[in-house]
Structure 1
Amino acid sequence: MPVPRGHHVMTRSLLRDEAYRAIRDAIVDGTLAPGERLLDTELVEWLGVSRTPIREALARLEQAGLVRSKPGRYTIVAPLDVRATREAQSVAAALHALAVREAAATLTDVELTSMREANQRLAEALRTGDVDGALTADDEFHAVPVVAAANETLRTMLDQVTPLLRRVERVRFATLAGRSSVAQHAEIVELCASGDVDGAAAATRRNWETLGRLLTAEARGEDAGSTT
């Protein structure tokens, strides 16, 4: 699909970050398809900003593996790279497990309730086929221990690897393969609540490793919805 028409209003103080998020989300949800050329002029018109934040956003997206460019020739939406995405998935699984390991013993009742409520929203979004809602709820669930861990290096590394996983996560929550996440999340919360740090970290790693099966199906050209 072409770059959306009309103006996407942004606050001036966050132009670069908002341009990054807008283009990233359009790539993840398929609005901008793999192989599609990204022209500065079209992105400037769509987002209503100058070329500088656009170019900074594209450079960041290229670093994240969502964009490819050849200076002076083209910038395109990168095709799904199964190997690179699998590597990102392995790193994300380890980082989220580390976040839970660092935070599990000190999570408050309020934080545990926030995780349970996010998981309820995930279950409802999956029930109604709301993929965007499922992605948001999943992010909110995992964000609780990440924030509670208060490890800025961990958060920075997750910001680097997570964008490449969005496409696969969207597939997971658009199919029956996503249903298992609700039960896995519930297990993580209860292990945290009981003080089982090792168990909670292991359960978190298993939850993120489910993406690996979807990547295997993608590499084989299989129906991701059949993944269990």
Structure 2
Amino acid sequence: MPVPERRGLVSRSLLREDAYRAIRDAIVDGTFAPGERLNDTDLVAWLGVSRTPVRDALGRLEQAGLVHTKPGRHTIVSPLDVRAVHHAQSVVAAMHELAVREAVPHLAAAELDAMRAANARFAAALRAGDVAGALDADDAFHGVPVTASANQAVHTVLEQFTPVLRRVERLRFSSLAGRASVAQHERIVDLCAAGDAEAAATASRENWQTLTPLLTTPGPDGGESPSLAGP
């Protein structure tokens, strides 16, 4: 398994959560490609930690569907499976719909301004072809109503399933199709500012459903392929 050249990425006091996020982000951004083997020894050297937080992180990543482990053999980065991504998309869209619905009555001018500022950064990143910047800005935009909803259950579910979608979102935000999200974000903010919780919630769900065209790829027989990338 080739690992990034930088070693000792984090301090040796690394928490399990930090190990999980570091490996997760490397999978999401393509550093660790679908089908690639993940060796405990290499991950320990890369992160500068013991095996315990690494193994714990891999267990959580398997639950999230980002890795697949064959006991006693090896762990690989999961292929982009269409069915799994469809399921994650349905859950994530529903959670953001709920978050916006619950957040609207509590959104003040500062939160609305934060959403507009995040969308401006999102648009600028798309124009510059900065996919990582676009993902960060998109996270910031949607994170405002999630935080304002104060619904810990929503936050927990999104933490598990959003990473599954991030690999697909990288494809969307690297294409012109991703620019449609800028206008969709503007509509969400406008509806939130108007206090229309139901319409804003619906608009948020529809925004997350725009990934659907990327989840259908023609198979060898002309039908739908079960995965976006093989092992």
TM-score range, shorter chain: over 0.9
Letter in 2 for 1:128: A
SS at match of 1:179: helix
Equivalents in 2 of 1:189, 1:182: separation in Å?
A: 11
1:148-201 CA distance string (max 9 Å, x none): 000111110111111111101111101111101000000000000001111100
Matches within 5 A, 1:121-200: 121-200=121-200
Equivalents in 1 of 2:95, 2:14: separation in Å?
A: 27
Equivalents in 2 of 1:161, 1:70: separation in Å?
A: 22
1:15/1:49 contact within 8 Å kept: no
Letter in 2 for 1:209: Q
Relative to the length of structure 2, the TM-score reads: 0.92
The structure with higher relative contact order (CA 8 Å, sep 6+) is 2
1:33-57 CA distance string (max 9 Å, x none): 1111111110011110000000001
What is aligned with 1:97? Answer: 97
Task: Describe the shift of the 1:35–1:115 C-alpha distance in structure 2 as closer, same or farther (beyond 3 A).
Answer: same
Letter in 2 for 1:57: A
1:207 aligns with 2:207: yes
1:91/1:161 contact within 8 Å kept: yes
Matches within 5 A, 1:33-52: 33-52=33-52
Equivalents in 1 of 2:213, 2:113: separation in Å?
A: 30
Task: Describe the shift of the 1:98–1:14 C-alpha distance in structure 2 as closer, same or farther (beyond 3 A).
Answer: farther
Q: Which moved more, 1:119-128 or 1:5-14?
A: 5-14
SS at match of 1:157: helix
Relative to the length of structure 1, the TM-score reads: 0.93
User: Displaced runs of 4+ in structure 1, greater than 6 A?
Assistant: none
2:11/2:48 contact within 8 Å kept: no
Equivalents in 1 of 2:82, 2:49: separation in Å?
A: 33
1:82/1:218 contact within 8 Å kept: no
Report the structure, 1 or 2, having the larger helix content.
1
SS at match of 1:102: helix
2:12/2:48 contact within 8 Å kept: no
Letter in 2 for 1:169: E
**Structure 1 gap segments, 5+ residues each:** none
Q: Give percent identity, aligned residues only.
A: 66
1:3/1:46 contact within 8 Å kept: yes
Structure 1 residue 14, shift from structure 2 partner: 4.3
Task: Describe the shift of the 1:3–1:119 C-alpha distance in structure 2 as closer, same or farther (beyond 3 A).
Answer: same
2:61/2:67 contact within 8 Å kept: yes
Letter in 2 for 1:61: L
Equivalents in 1 of 2:51, 2:12: separation in Å?
A: 13
Letter in 1 for 2:205: R
Q: Which moved more, 1:104-113 or 1:26-35?
A: 26-35
1:55 aligns with 2:42: no
Equivalents in 2 of 1:89, 1:101: separation in Å?
A: 18
Equivalents in 1 of 2:12, 2:117: separation in Å?
A: 33
Letter in 2 for 1:85: V
